[in-house]
Amino acid sequence: MSEKKEKNQRKIKQSDKNPNKNKRIHIDTTKITDKLKQCCAEGRRERERETRREGGREY
């Protein structure tokens, strides 16, 4: 049991050495959201074209 306790103590000490490890990672989402908006707009246009072809009926 004492060996396990020592190992745990060592792990705790190592985690204290790296304070950035526990911080949340911040991702810059502006590029991702722009891409998503672009894709959504394209999809919407495509759907509008299809509904016009089908005589205004949505499937």
Evaluate the CA torsion angle 8, 11, 17, 22 in order and state its sign: negative
Quick one: pLDDT band at residue 18, thresholds 50, 70, 90?
A: low
Q: For the chain, what are the domain ranges?
A: 30-54
- Most confident range, picked from 11-15, 19-23, 28-32: 28-32
Residue with tokens 């959504």: 40
Determine if the pTM surpasses 0.85: no
> In the structure, how many helices (H) and strands (E) does the chain have?
2, 0
What's the chain's length in residues?
Answer: 59
Quick one: pLDDT band at residue 33, thresholds 50, 70, 90?
A: confident
Is pLDDT above 70 for 21? no
Reading the block at residue 7, the tokens are 């190992």
Alpha-carbon dihedral angle through residues 12, 18, 21, 22, given to the nearest 10 degrees? 60
Quick one: pLDDT band at residue 45, thresholds 50, 70, 90?
A: confident
